[in-house]
Amino acid sequence: MNIDARVAITILLKGVFYKNDNEKAWGELIENSFSSIQEYFEVIGLDVFVDESEGYAYLKHKEYENEQEAPPKLIQKRELSYKVSLLCVLLRKEIVDFDMQNESSRVIISKEDIKKELLLYLPQTFNEVKAFKDIDATIKKVEELGFLSKMKNDEESYEIKRSIKAFVDTSWLKNFDEKLQEYKESGKWN
């Protein structure tokens, strides 16, 4: 296996691999070494998912008909808080709206716009400072998940990463709707 294939493997192990991260390793992944890289991860129960049109790839658990044949899971699922889930849904919607109106592939959103959108769905509070701190923490968490990336030339703007489309899909949205109903009924918004 050549160095670019090993670089692609390493980037995939760290998280979502965007074409822009390393175009040479991306080319190796897509054009020359996909089958050997796929075989490499298959041994440990992972599949390589690639969306060439959007320019990203990531690892996911391989589906087994018989779960007893499956190796232990390496990638843990995490339950997200209401606010983080809500922001992911809003960002996903932002990409859909953007794609209908633009031909550019980069979706940029300001921190102020994110705050305005989130405030529409959160309960009103008398402590605005706390509300904005909570929103900042939520934005930071979504950034850590890899769905937002701070712009280098503008600290108050973010690029919405297109990989969010793969994670916030129809089944995810259905689960979110169910959770949203639970939150409404319990009055718990954290």
Structure letter (DSSP) for residue 44: T
- The torsion angle over the Cα atoms of residues 23, 28, 29 and 34, rounded to 10 degrees, is 170
d(CA 8, CA 152): 24
The DSSP annotation for 62-116 comes to PP-SSGGGSPPPSSPP-PPPHHHHHHHHHHHHHHHHHHHH---S-EEEEHHHHHH
Residue 81 carries which side chain, given as an amino acid letter? S
Strand partners, 109: 158
What's the confidence (pLDDT) of residue 77? Answer: 73
Which three-class secondary structure string do you get for 26-41?
A: HHHHHHHCHHHHHHHH
Please tell me the total number of residues recorded for the chain in this structure: 190
The answer to whether the CB of 47 falls within 8 A of the CB of 59 is yes
Q: Give the per-residue pLDDT at 187.
A: 59
Q: What is the pLDDT of residues 163-189, one digit of tens each?
A: 898 888 777 777 777 776 676 666 555
CA distance 16 to 84: 18
Per-residue pLDDT, 184: 62
State yes or no: pLDDT of 53 exceeds 60. Answer: yes
What pLDDT is stored for residue 108 in this prediction?
92
In this prediction the pTM is: 0.74
Radius of gyration of the chain (CA): 19
- At 183 the pLDDT is 65
Q: Report yes or no: 11 and 17 within 8 Å, Cβ to Cβ.
A: yes
- Interval 54-110: pLDDT, tens: 899 999 988 878 777 777 777 777 778 888 988 998 999 888 888 888 777 789 999
